[in-house]
Structure 1
Amino acid sequence: MRALIVDDEARVRKAVRLLVDWQSHGIEEIAEAGGGTEAIAMIKEFKPALVIMDMMMKSGHGMELMVWVSEHAPSLKFIVISGHDDFEFVRSTVRHGGIDYILKPIDPEAINAAVGKAVGQWRQEEQERREHQQKSIQLNEFRPVYSEKLLFSLIDDPGSSESAMRRLRMEGVIPEEADKGRLLLIPIDSGDTALLRRFGYDSELLHFSLINICNEFLLPGRHGIAFKYWGAPMEIVILTWGPSDRAPELIARINDGLFHTLQRRVHVGMGMAGELPQSLPHQYDEAETAIRRRNLLQPDQYVHLLKSAQQDTIEGAASLSFESVQEEWKTAVLSGDAGQISSAAQQWIDELCRSGYVSSELLDAWESDILSFRVRLLREALGKEADNLVSESEHDESSLTPPLTSSYTFSPSAWRDWSRAFMTRLAGEISARHSRENRMTGEIITYIEQHYRNELSLQEIASHFYVSREYVSRKFKQEFGINFSDYLTKYRIDKAKKLMLNPDLKLQQISEMVGFNDVKYFSKVFKKQEGESPREYRSK
């Protein structure tokens, strides 16, 4: 067994090495890391069973390391050693599966007890993982004789569905007399991490177990058959035959069996019963649509069938579009005020919940509208520069991705927090770009003040600051209401007027000093701006 000590202080790492009785715990190899970032790399390569880590480190915070471990190495056990008696740290340690939280200075008895507990838990879970793996192998040896490929082709390959049906009848999978049937669709909740963890995150084993439980209620009475749908990784299909009104009763019995075995119930989408096999592709589409349109605010209703009553509800909810809150979102984002942003996010969730109907389909539509709103607002606020920002965000979509919308749950608080974070980021993007542009405008003006005596052009300014000529021209129009050349001319003439106060300077000298090589042209420009010639101005 291996252990990793993570602390940015070498003396602390040394102390841990000395205080823990590694041999008695069966730990043979110990490695060290000076921070969370280094620890992640070492965990991938060294593969320890136990990590003893500090919370506050310069290179990679301990909180970030805990989150990474819980997501990418859930079987790894860790103990936190910290000099901070912070309740949030302790709570985070417990939430992410930490074994213990030990305060510095380290007590030998406490750390050895924690290591012993961690090692014991790891060994027990390792044994369970091996048993699950062995069980998976054994279960696969007793898989039913029918081919999932044939059942899948009934839905996904109409061209071969008739031949697939004949083979399934010959094998006794589908009765000869079954000429009509009903398709039921069960989406597996991909957000149910507790259930996935129970099966060692082995989706194949989870599928197989759920299908077996379903078939315990279907096969004995020849009511139907459950199988994995190859077209979607997290779906199970049930094909039933016989009386079409039997389906709700079968679903109720299956759900009771699933709850008894796994403490879970499933949502089921149903198509309208029809001829076998030709109606199955259409039935699948109906069942999938019923699932996507199921009301997430009614989590205890498990059977979902498209019908006129539900259609009326959907049409009523469809009137709740993003336009109803768009102006509030826009005002909040442009204000940059955290209070207004929070209020706008809460208003959206309140509107959704008051509607009485929220579905995966509706949330997907809202997500699309919200992302389009972001692009429109960026372009409105930043012009063509928004395209660069939109392009950059395509490579970093993490903060633009809403909470997982599984077929099972809807969390108003999670969606509210996401919308608040979304608006906060959008406000920051606009503010940051404006600040950067303001700084650049100031730098351009300074450059002009330092080089106005030379030949200056719009192209030279653009090249020096690595921007386009159009950008520079637009900024001068926005900031000063005139173009670049007019600004430069005005600045030079204003400088010339100050130099004219010196009677010893000739007009030829002054014109050259402010960037005009031709005194006649200088006089022409001066008169056009001031309404009088340089000599007339000087004679006053």
Structure 2
Amino acid sequence: MKALIVDDEARVRKAVRLLVNWDAHQIGEIMEAGSGNEAIELIREHKPGLVIMDMMMESGNGIELMTWVNEFAGSTKFIVVSGHNDFDFVRETVRHGGIDYILKPIEPEAINKAVAKAVAAWRSEAEERSQRQRQSIRLNEIKPIYGERLLSALIDDPVTAETTLRRLVAEGVIPGSAGAARLLLVQTDAGNNPLLRRFGGDSELLYYAIVNICNEFLQPQGIGTAFRYWGGPPEIAILLWDVQESVTELTGKINQGLFHTLQLRMHFGISSAGSLPGRLAAQRTEAAEALLRRNLLRHEDYSHFSIASAEYRQDTGAAGAKPIFADVQEDWKMAVVSGNTNALSAAAQHWTEELSRSGIITPEMLGSWKADALLFRSRLVRETLGSQAESALAELELSDRDNPAPYAGGYSFSLFAWRDWSYALMASLSRVLSAVQVKERNPLTEIVKYIDQNYMADLSLQEVAGKFYVSREYISRKFKQEYGINFTDYIGSVRIEKAKLLLQNPSLKLSQISEMVGFHDVKYFSKVFKKQTGATPKDYRIQVTL
């Protein structure tokens, strides 16, 4: 808190400085003025919470200063120090909100008591002002969300729509004369990282900015309102009820404002006109479908009308049938199976050429083609890998995080991005299929499979090596590398695992189990079993059957 001492006598100012216990009152800065005019300048600049002033000064008397403080610095508290015991002066002090009137010579107790009273009053009022400000901020934060919730409910809740409309009319959001309206959806793209970074990664702040820019072109003219739609995924909606100009011209002006501020233009899905509020739900569907069906190859078009609107224009594009994924499916399969980089690149290029051949590409089409591409991948993996398909698909789905498909509904569209995505998808698929197939061709894989199927027979290293046309040294080395044990120990571990399962059947004797898993000597079987498990077959059976 700051304090100002005003007196045309320096010795009086010095006396006040010495007599007041400033630290006890938590006043950290003390200023001085030799006249009322000088005091006004200091008050304007520094806004002290407390002024201790003389009533009679040569330049700018105390009454003039009190009048000015009362009018222009109402939160400042003041104490009058005077050598005149004049009732009129006291009355003026009280009338202008003074805290106290102290006579010279100044008593320490009196001045400190008056300062304490003034400081307490100033702090109390400051806290009230702060609380009102906080409440005002909260109301200002809540009010837009409250309005957005009501406008969203107007679309989503037909049961209460009429009541909600009356409330919005009463609060001045929608004029009572609005009988018909159109609903527009503004295309938002949460994946636009460069734009999002400008807002510190805060998408809510970005949506707030877009809504404000839209409303600069709507609310001053009283023709509509933009708001955050809360009924589904992040969307910005515009409700228009009185448009004298064409909707295309209006969205063009809004886009100029968006470009001026954000350096990009946005797409608008526009519904047909309809009664308010009865058709709003259907109008939102119309606007969303208009955005899904916009031709991404027409980069200059930003206004997209629903089929039901009078302004709708059929986009025929170039001659020719719409492409289907089946047209490129065989190319993709051959490229993936070959694993050849040139073949993969050619297949990706062919796909994008097929996409653009008709002259029309819509977000709806891209979504369908993406789903078809992923279905093709799943079918090829299952067809090629059989029982190992699930693990391969899980690996591919994990790689999708590093290669997400471009967002079909974004602010901009690039065929090159979709070409690169399709190439990466085919390349990763080719790598996974090739890796699994190489593993399948690995002699060790076949040897392990053979052991699992013939563990009960007398398998020797020489016999197995001959069967698979590899050397005994190769088998020994590979088992050590892959499993950390030799060939014989691996067979023993397989036999013991099978024995564990058989021991759960109480009707089988140990001698039978021993024979069934390839041990012809039950004592040797028990010895090996205990070495690997830490328990005899009999003790193990008791443990698992309890």
Report the TM-score when normalising by structure 2: 0.54
Q: Amino acid of the residue matched to residue 257 of structure 2? A: G
Matched, 1:428 2:431: yes
The corresponding residue for 1:49 is: none
The corresponding residue for 1:388 is: 391
Matched, 1:442 2:443: no
The corresponding residue for 1:419 is: 422
The corresponding residue for 2:326 is: 323
366-375 or 189-198, which deviates more: 189-198
SS in 2 for 1:401: coil
When residues 243 and 437 of structure 1 are mapped into structure 2, their CA distance, relative to the original with a 3 A threshold, is same
C-alpha RMSD of matched pairs (Å): 3.4
String of CA shifts for 1:36-68, please: whole Å, max 9, x gaps: xxxxxxxxxxxxxxxxxxxxxxxxxxxxxxxxx
2: CA distance, partners of 1:449 / 1:303:
67
String of CA shifts for 1:405-436, please: whole Å, max 9, x gaps: 33322222221111111111111111111111
Matched, 1:313 2:325: no
Matched, 1:164 2:164: yes
SS in 2 for 1:404: coil
String of CA shifts for 1:354-387, please: whole Å, max 9, x gaps: 3211121111101100010011111221223223
When residues 249 and 139 of structure 1 are mapped into structure 2, their CA distance, relative to the original with a 3 A threshold, is farther
- Given that 2:290 and 2:307 are in contact with CA atoms closer than 8 Å, whether structure 1 keeps it comes out as no
When residues 249 and 451 of structure 1 are mapped into structure 2, their CA distance, relative to the original with a 3 A threshold, is closer
Q: Once the 2 structures are TM-superposed, how far is the Cα of residue 272 of structure 1 from its aligned partner?
A: 0.6
Q: How does 1:457-472 map to 2 (within 5 A)?
A: none
Q: Once the 2 structures are TM-superposed, how far is the Cα of residue 316 of structure 1 from its aligned partner?
A: 7.8
Q: How does 1:232-243 map to 2 (within 5 A)?
A: 232-243=232-243
SS in 2 for 1:147: helix
Matched, 1:252 2:252: yes
Q: Amino acid of the residue matched to residue 199 of structure 1? A: F
The corresponding residue for 2:346 is: 343
SS in 2 for 1:313: coil
Q: Amino acid of the residue matched to residue 219 of structure 1? A: Q
Q: Amino acid of the residue matched to residue 299 of structure 1? A: H
- Given that 1:296 and 1:357 are in contact with CA atoms closer than 8 Å, whether structure 2 keeps it comes out as yes
SS in 2 for 1:218: coil
The corresponding residue for 1:354 is: 357
Structure 1 gaps of 5+ residues are 1-136, 462-514, 518-540
2: CA distance, partners of 1:311 / 1:227:
30
Q: How does 1:101-116 map to 2 (within 5 A)?
A: none
Matched, 1:407 2:407: no
Larger-Rg structure: 2
2: CA distance, partners of 1:300 / 1:162:
39
The corresponding residue for 1:368 is: 371
String of CA shifts for 1:68-114, please: whole Å, max 9, x gaps: xxxxxxxxxxxxxxxxxxxxxxxxxxxxxxxxxxxxxxxxxxxxxxx
- Given that 2:396 and 2:428 are in contact with CA atoms closer than 8 Å, whether structure 1 keeps it comes out as no
When residues 451 and 156 of structure 1 are mapped into structure 2, their CA distance, relative to the original with a 3 A threshold, is closer
1: CA distance, partners of 2:253 / 2:340:
53
The corresponding residue for 1:533 is: none
The corresponding residue for 1:475 is: none
String of CA shifts for 1:333-363, please: whole Å, max 9, x gaps: 1111111111101111122223211121111
- Given that 1:360 and 1:405 are in contact with CA atoms closer than 8 Å, whether structure 2 keeps it comes out as yes
Q: Once the 2 structures are TM-superposed, how far is the Cα of residue 241 of structure 1 from its aligned partner?
A: 0.7
The corresponding residue for 2:149 is: 149
SS in 2 for 1:183: strand
String of CA shifts for 1:133-168, please: whole Å, max 9, x gaps: xxxx79956965961111010112222211111101
- Given that 2:317 and 2:359 are in contact with CA atoms closer than 8 Å, whether structure 1 keeps it comes out as no
When residues 206 and 405 of structure 1 are mapped into structure 2, their CA distance, relative to the original with a 3 A threshold, is same
String of CA shifts for 1:261-300, please: whole Å, max 9, x gaps: 3322211000111011010111101101111111111122
Matched, 1:379 2:382: yes
Q: Once the 2 structures are TM-superposed, how far is the Cα of residue 449 of structure 1 from its aligned partner?
A: 12
- Given that 2:321 and 2:358 are in contact with CA atoms closer than 8 Å, whether structure 1 keeps it comes out as no
1: CA distance, partners of 2:301 / 2:251:
12
Q: Once the 2 structures are TM-superposed, how far is the Cα of residue 235 of structure 1 from its aligned partner?
A: 1.7
2: CA distance, partners of 1:448 / 1:260:
71
2: CA distance, partners of 1:444 / 1:219:
76
- Given that 1:185 and 1:287 are in contact with CA atoms closer than 8 Å, whether structure 2 keeps it comes out as yes
377-386 or 307-316, which deviates more: 307-316
Number of equivalenced pairs:
324
Report the TM-score when normalising by structure 1: 0.54
Q: Once the 2 structures are TM-superposed, how far is the Cα of residue 181 of structure 1 from its aligned partner?
A: 0.2
The ranges of structure 1 where at least 4 consecutive aligned residues each deviate by more than 3 angstroms after the TM superposition are 137-146, 243-246, 307-318, 391-397, 444-453
- Given that 2:211 and 2:236 are in contact with CA atoms closer than 8 Å, whether structure 1 keeps it comes out as yes
Structure 2 gaps of 5+ residues are 1-136, 465-517, 521-546
Determine what percentage of the aligned residue pairs are the same residue.
46
Q: Once the 2 structures are TM-superposed, how far is the Cα of residue 210 of structure 1 from its aligned partner?
A: 1.6
Q: Once the 2 structures are TM-superposed, how far is the Cα of residue 394 of structure 1 from its aligned partner?
A: 4.5
- Given that 1:186 and 1:237 are in contact with CA atoms closer than 8 Å, whether structure 2 keeps it comes out as yes
The corresponding residue for 1:24 is: none
1: CA distance, partners of 2:387 / 2:394:
12
